[in-house]
């Protein structure tokens, strides 16, 4: 049958299993928007800014495991996507962005709303395309989805001139496998690498698993946990790895790195074997590379060959899908005990518990840690939590233990303020359930707050918890530690967030006392038709502990003082 390019786009989306798109119309993409009226089975969510569309598609993808889809016009519409695309790229989130482009005949002439978006996004996409021929459009879109979801997932952009959208051709959906020269995501490990890894595992006395985002993306949580229990190997999690393994498990040490637990970081520095499963040795995890895990042999399993030896030289590098590689490894693994090692870790954990602010009487003051810990209690630890970036993000990582994959969605690699609320909207619409919480700071929230309009219009069942401390909190923390308390450009004079929400028709409350935290959360959970908002006004000068200064040795953490000290 003969179809226009716009019809081909939408037909291909249906065949790729797409049910929802996030976008904003404009002249160069208008033929596709007009054609959407023929496809009511494809839900379109009108955002208030294209950055919000990219974050919503990202949140949708992370929550559902499917590819998120973004639609935008040329020029500023396309360039407004860049921050969201870069966020997805660094966190390996599969999204496909379809952008309109000016007509082919005027490309390169600085036409109205023309931008070389494939050039702009080349560094922050897994791949991108400019489609000049309508006959190539269907295969290009199918290829884009294949690249986005396979291997190490990531964002792909397809730029389509306006005349290609209106051109007509015979439509035949390209069936069969996608074959791309040079694109062969690895799956299995070489047998000699399995043997080398087994030799290190059997000889280790102080082993430690570093579980990253790859545990979740490969669906390898069961295999990693089986390995940990059989070999009595404790595990620490990266920020994006949270949820890949149950954090309340006796072998869990919580998050590692700059704001990780003291016992996780001390375990890394004292281990004699690190098993890096689907993680990339990011600088926020390692601290000073010269002193990182100085006595440990290292096994690194990752599907992306570019991550091997990139930051840390390892002894046994294995390129492959983590679930597949562990399937090769596990039949040869024998039960092992590490009683002395686990005893040492318990001592470190007891010290950390003594320092923890949640266990202290702080009088009438409300701390963010209390809010997030009580949210964990009130939700039974079963919510899908989407955070923004800053202090509240680290407190969430410390005080909301996750038990299941895809229940913490956050911007890790790029650290994108403004990610939280739109990504939560995408997750809530994708999951179709009411148990999605956006935990945001007062700073990041205001970067994308117009998406309250999207939440209202779409009746997205998202609960928004603002951790309101009147500062750009993490920047203020660095100013306190390293810039002699010169709080320049970090105090925030905020609007009344409750009134702001009510202006959008969104039910809202303000909480200033700890005794009101759980009742407010229960109130929000009781509302399932549309969004809610709670403004938690918390202690202004609180700090995230521990903290490893940038570039410092991982074990040289700034710790919260013990209770014997009068400081909080």
Catalytic member of 36, 349, 474, 557: 474
Is pLDDT of 243 > 60?
A: yes
Tokens of 419: 């990610």
| 344 annotated active-site | no
| 232 annotated active-site | no
**Contact partners, residue 169, CB within 8 Å, separation at least 6:** 2, 3, 5, 8, 134, 135
| 50 annotated active-site | yes
DSSP letters along 80-133, please? TTHHHHHHHHHTT--EEEEEEE--GGGTTTT-TT---HHHHHGGGSSEEEE---
Q: Write the pLDDT tens digit of every residue in 286-339.
A: 999 999 999 999 999 999 999 999 999 999 999 999 999 999 999 999 999 999
| pLDDT, position 210 | 98
Q: Which residues on adjacent β-strands are paired with residue 536?
A: 467, 511
84: closest CA among 44, 125, 112?
A: 125
pTM to 2 decimals?
0.97
Q: State which H helix or E strand residue 169 sits in.
A: strand 168-170
Tokens of 82: 């860049």
Is pLDDT of 564 > 80?
A: no
Mean pLDDT in residue range 44-59: 98
| pLDDT, position 566 | 57
Query: To which residue do tokens 């039949």 refer?
Result: 331
CB atoms under 10 Å from CB of 547, counted, come to 20
Q: How confident is the model at residue 362 (pLDDT cuts 50, 70, 90)?
A: confident
| 456 annotated active-site | no
Tokens of 65: 């495991």
CB atoms under 10 Å from CB of 331, counted, come to 7
| pLDDT, position 224 | 98
The reply to whether CATH 3.40.30.10 applies to domain 366-537 is: no
51: closest CA among 86, 20, 19?
A: 86
Rg of the chain over Cα atoms, rounded to whole angstroms, equals 24
| 317-to-190, 221, 224, 244 alpha-carbon distances in Å | 10, 20, 17, 22
| pLDDT, position 567 | 58
Q: Write the pLDDT tens digit of every residue in 130-189.
A: 999 999 999 999 999 999 999 999 999 999 999 999 999 999 999 888 989 888 888 899
- pLDDT greater at residue 361 or residue 112: 112
| SS3 assignment for 237-253 | ECCCCCCCCCCCCCCEE
Alpha carbons 384 and 313: distance in angstroms, whole number: 35
Beta strands, E only, 171-228: 207-211
Alpha carbons 277 and 110: distance in angstroms, whole number: 47
Q: Write the pLDDT tens digit of every residue in 98-141.
A: 999 999 999 999 999 999 999 999 999 999 999 999 999 999 99
| pLDDT, position 563 | 79
Catalytic member of 22, 56, 101, 162: 162
Residue 90 contacts residue 456 (beta carbons within 8 Å): no
Give the DSSP letter of residue 516: G
- pLDDT greater at residue 568 or residue 443: 443
Report the percent of the chain where pLDDT is more than 70: 99
| pLDDT, position 185 | 85
**Contact partners, residue 179, CB within 8 Å, separation at least 6:** none
Delimiting residues of CATH 3.40.50.1220 domain(s) in the chain: 191-348
Fold of the domain spanning 2-170: Rossmann fold (3.40.50)
| 162 annotated active-site | yes
Catalytic member of 7, 11, 50, 458: 50
| pLDDT, position 565 | 67
Mean pLDDT in residue range 248-256: 98
| pLDDT, position 568 | 60
Domain 191-348 has what CATH class?
alpha beta
Alpha carbons 151 and 438: distance in angstroms, whole number: 29
Q: Which residues of 100-136 are buried (b: 16+ CB within 10 A; e: fewer)?
A: bbbebeebeeebebbbebbebbeebbbbbbbbeebee
Query: To which residue do tokens 């010290």 refer?
Result: 351
| pLDDT, position 182 | 85
Give the DSSP letter of residue 150: S
Report the percent of the chain where pLDDT is more than 90: 93
| pLDDT, position 562 | 82
| pLDDT, position 361 | 79
Delimiting residues of CATH 3.40.50.970 domain(s) in the chain: 2-170, 366-537
3-class state of residue 280 by DSSP: coil
Q: Write the pLDDT tens digit of every residue in 524-534.
A: 999 999 999 99
Catalytic member of 113, 344, 403, 457: 113
């Amino acid at each position: 049958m003969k179809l226009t390019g716009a019809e081909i786009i939408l037909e291909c989306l249906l065949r790729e299993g797409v049910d929802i798109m996030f976008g904003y119309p404009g002249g160069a993409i208008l033929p596709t928007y007009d054609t959407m009226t023929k496809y009511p089975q494809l839900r379109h969510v009108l955002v208030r800014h294209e950055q919000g569309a990219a974050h919503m598609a990202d949140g949708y993808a992370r929550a559902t495991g499917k590819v998120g889809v973004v639609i935008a016009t040329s020029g500023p519409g396309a360039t407004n996507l860049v921050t969201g695309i870069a966020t997805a790229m660094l966190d390996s989130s599969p999204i496909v962005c379809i952008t309109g482009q000016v007509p082919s005949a005027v490309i390169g002439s600085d036409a109205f709303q023309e931008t070389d978006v494939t050039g702009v996004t080349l560094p922050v996409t897994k791949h991108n395309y400019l489609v000049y021929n309508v006959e190539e459009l269907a295969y290009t879109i199918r290829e884009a989805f294949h690249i986005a979801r396979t291997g190490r997932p990531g964002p792909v952009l397809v730029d389509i001139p306006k005349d290609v959208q209106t051109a007509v051709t015979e439509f035949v959906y390209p069936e069969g496998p996608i074959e791309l020269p040079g694109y062969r995501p690895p799956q299995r490990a070489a047998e000699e690498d399995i043997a080398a890894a087994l030799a290190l595992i059997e000889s280790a006395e102080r082993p430690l698993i570093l579980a990253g985002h790859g545990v979740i993306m490969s669906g390898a949580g069961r295999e990693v946990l089986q390995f940990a229990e059989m070999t009595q190997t404790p595990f620490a999690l990266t920020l994006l790895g949270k949820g890949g393994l149950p954090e309340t498990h006796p072998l869990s040490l919580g998050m590692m790195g700059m704001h990780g637990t003291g016992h996780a970081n001390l375990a890394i520095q004292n281990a004699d074997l690190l098993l890096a499963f689907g993680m990339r040795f990011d600088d926020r995890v390692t601290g000073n590379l010269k002193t990182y895990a100085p006595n440990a042999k290292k096994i690194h399993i990752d599907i992306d060959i570019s991550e091997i030896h990139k930051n840390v030289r390892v002894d046994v590098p294995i390129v492959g899908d983590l679930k597949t590689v562990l399937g090769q490894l596990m039949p040869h693994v024998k039960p092992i005990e590490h009683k002395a090692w686990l005893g040492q870790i318990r001592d470190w954990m007891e010290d950390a518990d003594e320092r923890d602010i949640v266990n202290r009487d702080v009088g009438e003051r409300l701390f963010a840690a209390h809010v997030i810990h009580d949210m964990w209690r009130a939700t039974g630890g079963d919510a899908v939590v989407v955070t923004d970036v800053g202090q509240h993000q680290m407190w969430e990582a410390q005080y909301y233990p996750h038990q299941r994959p895809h229940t913490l969605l956050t911007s890790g690699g790029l650290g994108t303020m403004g990610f939280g609320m739109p990504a939560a909207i995408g997750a809530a619409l994708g999951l179709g359930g009411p148990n999605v919480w956006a935990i945001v700071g007062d700073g990041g929230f205001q970067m994308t707050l117009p998406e309250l309009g999207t939440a209202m219009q779409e009746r997205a069942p998202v609960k928004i918890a603002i951790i309101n401390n009147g500062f750009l909190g993490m920047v203020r923390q660095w100013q306190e530690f390293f810039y002699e308390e010169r709080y320049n450009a970090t105090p925030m004079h905020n609007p009344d967030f409750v009134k702001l929400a009510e202006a959008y028709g969104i039910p809202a409350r303000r909480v200033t006392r700890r005794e009101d935290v759980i009742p407010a959360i229960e109130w929000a959970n009781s509302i399932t038709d549309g969004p809610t908002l709670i403004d938690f006004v918390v202690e202004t000068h609180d700090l995230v502990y521990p903290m490893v200064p940038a570039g410092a040795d991982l074990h040289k953490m700034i710790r919260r003082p013990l209770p014997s000290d009068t400081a909080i």
